[in-house]
Amino acid sequence: MLQRLQQFGPGLLVAAAFIGPGTVTTASVAGAETGYALLWALVFSIFATLVLQEMSARLGIVARLGLGEALRQSFDSPLLRWAVIVLVVVAIGFGTAAFETGNITGAALGLETIAGLSTRVWALIVGAAALALLATGHYKLIERVLVALVLTMSVVFILTAIIVRPDIGAILAGIFTPSLPQGSVLTLIALVGTTVVTYNFFLHSAAVQDKWPRDVSTERALTESRLDSGLSIALGGLITLAIVITAAAAFFNSETAIEDAGQMASQLEPLLGPAAKWFFAIGLFAAGMTSSVTAPLAAAYAVSGALGVKPDLASHRFRAIWAAIIVIGMGFAWFGTKPVQAIVIAQAANGILLPLIAVFLLVVMNRRDLLGEHRNGLVGNLLGAFVVVVATGLGLYTLLSVFGVVSS
């Protein structure tokens, strides 16, 4: 049993990355505003994550390259190559700094709810803890801490969903009968964007190389990696599902407007009693802490790979990237940006960006010179194309609704 558990790691890092305060907040808003109606979108998101993360892991194991490095090598045209590099640096590097503000603030909100002090003070403490953990430079230590936090979230949010006694029939209808309530387009895209996180492709392709080094056979590494990814991402999806279900059961068709996840913890007290505050706040802290570590780490892998910098946890330039992102996040959190609107909008932007990065991943995964017999086959390309088409459609619908061309 212990040996089987030791196979897990990179997949749980991915789960830790996408179950951040953005997930908790967006899923809470989705459940409170639309009930179970958008559960089908969450199921699609989990499927898309499984497909694209398997490709990312396979790239790292077979080609021994991160996605950023592979992209840099995939374009003969210097102009196109630099366009890709700029896109990765701007969208992933600077974009992650914005996400980091929400990650740190979310963890701080959880601590403020249960331990007092101001969000600003806790934000500095959370940021410092993330800096200290990454500064160790030890992948296994980082992995173990994040695994523990993911398991904590699992217990907290799944138990909470069970206690509120949801309507099982309505849950099944929400999963198998797609619908789009009036005014829910932005929430829909945010729900996809909070699960299928673009920077996770870069994180996964790099992390598997540490977990399964060259002396492990490729076939064994791929088998263990697929098990790791499948179970971990499914667990992450179950956590998000539990949050939507909790909010739907507790607040849908009520007069309560969810402004932040800390408020949701307080609003659950009539159902769960005094334990509600502790339950949800601990889960929110764990979500914020995991993403406060994984988001800058993923950005560092992405940016360093795109710029041709060796993606090494001990490298000073690699450390400078993740440290800068955490410090920027701490700074914005200190000045007190209201988290909910910023988090939801940022997640929606990630949902729009997803198709472009997914196309890049598909291009790389069809390179015979990198992957040989392990490159994408017909089924892999069809699944990837399906994900890209649906994600592109959702992104275009969002843009059209923003400009008033279609009703949102």
**Is residue 397 a part of any domain in this protein?**
no
Q: How far apart are the first and last CA of the chain?
A: 49
C-alpha span between 64 and 293 (Å, rounded): 23
**Is residue 383 a part of any domain in this protein?**
no
The band of 339, judged by pLDDT with boundaries at 50, 70 and 90, is: very low
C-alpha triplet 166, 168, 170: angle, nearest 5°: 95
Residue (of 355, 348, 394, 349) closest to 26 by Cα position: 348
Inter-helix orientation angle 378-402/339-365, to 10°: 150
C-alpha span between 306 and 214 (Å, rounded): 23
Distances (CA, A) of 3 to 59, 61, 141, 236: 25, 20, 17, 22
C-alpha span between 151 and 390 (Å, rounded): 31
C-alpha span between 127 and 289 (Å, rounded): 9
**Is residue 376 a part of any domain in this protein?**
no
Kindly report the CATH number assigned to the domain that includes residue 18: 1.20.1740.10
C-alpha span between 101 and 105 (Å, rounded): 6
Task: Report which residue type is found at 367.
Answer: R
pLDDT given for residue 260 in this prediction: 62
C-alpha span between 165 and 237 (Å, rounded): 19
When mean pLDDT is compared across 85-89, 242-246, 292-296, 331-335, the lowest value belongs to 85-89
**Is residue 375 a part of any domain in this protein?**
no
Instruction: Tell me the residue range of the domain where 135 lies.
Output: 2-348
C-alpha span between 171 and 37 (Å, rounded): 8
What are the tens digits of pLDDT across the range 264-309?
Answer: 666 676 666 777 777 778 888 888 899 999 989 988 888 888 887 7
Distances (CA, A) of 67 to 277, 311, 397: 40, 11, 28
Residues 6+ apart with CB under 8 A from 120: 108, 333, 334, 336
Q: Under a CB-based contact definition with an 8 Å cutoff, are residues 104 and 20 in contact?
A: no
Q: Under a CB-based contact definition with an 8 Å cutoff, are residues 187 and 30 in contact?
A: yes
**Is residue 363 a part of any domain in this protein?**
no
| Average pLDDT of the chain, as a whole number | 83
| Residue 257, number of CB atoms within 10 A of its CB | 11
Residue (of 313, 86, 113) closest to 207 by Cα position: 313
C-alpha span between 182 and 39 (Å, rounded): 15
What whole-number percentage of the chain has pLDDT above 70? 86
169 pLDDT higher than 90: yes
**Is residue 387 a part of any domain in this protein?**
no
Please give the average per-residue pLDDT across 110-139, as a whole number.
Answer: 87
Q: Under a CB-based contact definition with an 8 Å cutoff, are residues 198 and 359 in contact?
A: no
**Is residue 371 a part of any domain in this protein?**
no
346 pLDDT higher than 60: no
C-alpha span between 101 and 337 (Å, rounded): 8
99 pLDDT higher than 90: no
Q: Under a CB-based contact definition with an 8 Å cutoff, are residues 347 and 194 in contact?
A: yes
**Is residue 408 a part of any domain in this protein?**
no
C-alpha span between 287 and 295 (Å, rounded): 12
pLDDT given for residue 1 in this prediction: 45
338 pLDDT higher than 60: no
Q: Say how far residue 293 (Cα) sits from the centre of its chain.
A: 12
What are the tens digits of pLDDT across the range 367-393?
Answer: 898 899 999 999 989 998 988 888 777
Surface-to-core class of residue 281, CB atoms within 10 Å of its CB (0-12 exposed, 13-18 middle, 19+ buried): buried
Structural domains counted in the chain: 1
What whole-number percentage of the chain has pLDDT above 90? 26
C-alpha span between 113 and 160 (Å, rounded): 17
pLDDT given for residue 344 in this prediction: 57
Residue (of 297, 232, 264, 242) closest to 106 by Cα position: 264
